[in-house]
Chain A
Amino acid sequence: MNKLEIKNLTKSYGNKNANNNITITLENGVYGLLGPNGAGKTTLMKQIATLIKPTTGEIIYNGKNIYSIEDEYRGVIGYLPQEFGVYKNFSAKSFLQYIAALKGLAKREANKKIDELLNVVGLYDVRNKAIGKFSGGMKRRVGIAQVLLNDPKIIILDEPTAGLDPQERTRFRNLLSAISKDKIIILSTHIISDIESIAKETIMIKDGEMIMKGSHREILSDMNGKVYRIRTNDENQLAEIQSKYKVVNLQRGIDFTELRIVSDEAIPYVNAQVMEPKFEDVYMFYFDLENTKEV
């Protein structure tokens, strides 16, 4: 069993805290990291990937501070950054060979693993083509393959499905689910359905602070009684609702307009009906995008 403990982690840039006193314990399974842009997700992931050092606090892997076992720790992580880059003049195969060398894999073992992963991500037939000629989605798949090269125990994925088509996304989610049994997978994404379908737990971050961590059931149960549906054909009421409440969805029909809103307070409209919460509602409830601070 792998265990990653993040204790009182704070990362400051001048007076701003990109992460503020975050404490989480992660064990095998997929963890979804949810938060608006600038919430501090990438900063947290970069610290877990040893790209930046915490200002205060520590990260402990299996009982040891990661900076006391730096190279050993890096040997068990796989990281896909949000801005995944490649050498455009390298072929997919030679780029993965380079990454395998970075990860300390022996040549023969690396070549075997590379062929296997190129098959998994559907790039085997174009393995000798320069990556510069690949589409965004294909490059992303190279990125996913490089993460898995060293059979990592901790996988850190920052927006991994950006640029993938729906079919590729499904394949990727299935792949993550299949390998998550003995790994800690930290997945940051804006695509809520990705988190809904594979994450064991979701960690919600806002303004650099962790505001909630729990399973879907726990998080959704917390939203019970806070999600409403209102059907109306009164334009004045529609405008009033939109100005007062967080609207998750607005659908104009022929006879009426249907609104899905989230609110902590009881809704004073007779036509409001309490609905079963969805993950989208949670996102809207916690992340008031207009008030989100960029860090």
Chain B
Amino acid sequence: MIIGEQKPLEEIKNLVTEYERILVLGCGTCVTVCFAGGEKEVGILASSLRMATRIDGQEKVFDEATVQRQCEWEFLDAVEEEIRSHDLVLSMACGIGVQAIVERFPEARVAPAINTTFLGLPEEHGLWTERCAACGECILHLTAGICPIARCAKSMLNGPCGGSQGGRCEIDPEVPCAWQLIYDRLKAQGRLDQMLEITPARDWSTGRDGGPRRLVREDLRIQSQDHE
């Protein structure tokens, strides 16, 4: 899922300074699960802002709403009236949700209340770690299901490097070496010979290096069906 983290309250206060009627808009999907921008967090943030701005002597209205998915225009239509009747939408969704609002309602002023951090999973309560870099060319079958692109600091295709010490990455002792994890799992699965296979330099244009990406599924496009 997409992991996010709420911005500091002081920063959010600065984002709303010049607006009076603010809609705090949550998202019911990824950011709800990682406790960053769901209905509960919308309530806490809106209450905090009401109190904080009042203490600062400002008269502002903070209304609350949460949609199931801010990253799809159809779900945003459910709160069209609320969006149009406020000076600012303070989005608690990921960066996709924020952009979906302005694409659907171009005149709407939108500000992000959370920082979108990465694609990952919860390892334990209160701990999320990165798992996928959305690189566009998955090789998890070669690496025992552990992603060296997202989990190796150098995104090495043939590791480990010399910075792997005692199973940890040189960038931070908290970070496990992805290639140590790959080695250990291949060994446990009796597939260590896989480590000897050299993965050639890959085409990075499927990732962010290729610029903004788009995915077309002609079989799903309504336009393409009309042509048949």
Tell me, yes or no, whether A binds B: no
